[in-house]
Amino acid sequence: MKNIQTVLRGALLWMVCVAFLLSNTACFWLLVGGAGAGTYRYMKGDVTRNYPVGLDRGFEVSRQTLQAMNITLSDQQKDSLGGTLEGERSDGSPVKIVLEPAAGDSTTITVRVGRMGNPQMAEEIHEKIRDRL
């Protein structure tokens, strides 16, 4: 019986040490919160909005908006599961728009500007998308 208690105590101590070491890294939060905590850190530069239009219309309006803002498109892909538009601003910062079909005839559009994310610029793009709808 003492042998089992010793093994369990050692295992518990090991788990506490590992948790302590990992808690100082983003990996710990990714493990604890699944993708949630780690994804939040990356996504806080993203701005997501839902629009009451189908995927095709949302994709076309997003494409037109980027062109009107003189953002050079480097890649555009769309299928029935969603779409992606990637481009570059004149200052070289990347712009990415991800579209996903949502409930009913609506589309979720996520905008990211810059590598670290620039929510103000992403909001500006959303405003221009909304104005075109």
How many Cβ atoms from other residues are within 10 Å of residue 99's Cβ? 22
Reported as a single tens digit per residue, the pLDDT across 19-46 is 665 555 544 444 444 444 334 444 578 9
Clarify whether residues 7 and 72 are in a common domain.
Answer: no
Reported as a single tens digit per residue, the pLDDT across 99-117 is 999 988 899 999 999 998 9
Clarify whether residues 16 and 31 are in a common domain.
Answer: yes
Over residues 115-128, the mean pLDDT reads: 93
Total domains, the chain: 2
Clarify whether residues 67 and 92 are in a common domain.
Answer: yes
> Which CATH number goes with the domain that contains 83?
3.30.530.50
Q: Of 123 and 2, which is predicted with more confidence?
A: 123
Clarify whether residues 75 and 124 are in a common domain.
Answer: yes
Clarify whether residues 56 and 89 are in a common domain.
Answer: yes
Clarify whether residues 101 and 71 are in a common domain.
Answer: yes
Reported as a single tens digit per residue, the pLDDT across 43-76 is 578 999 999 999 999 999 999 999 999 999 999 9
Clarify whether residues 100 and 35 are in a common domain.
Answer: no
Domain region containing 75? 45-132
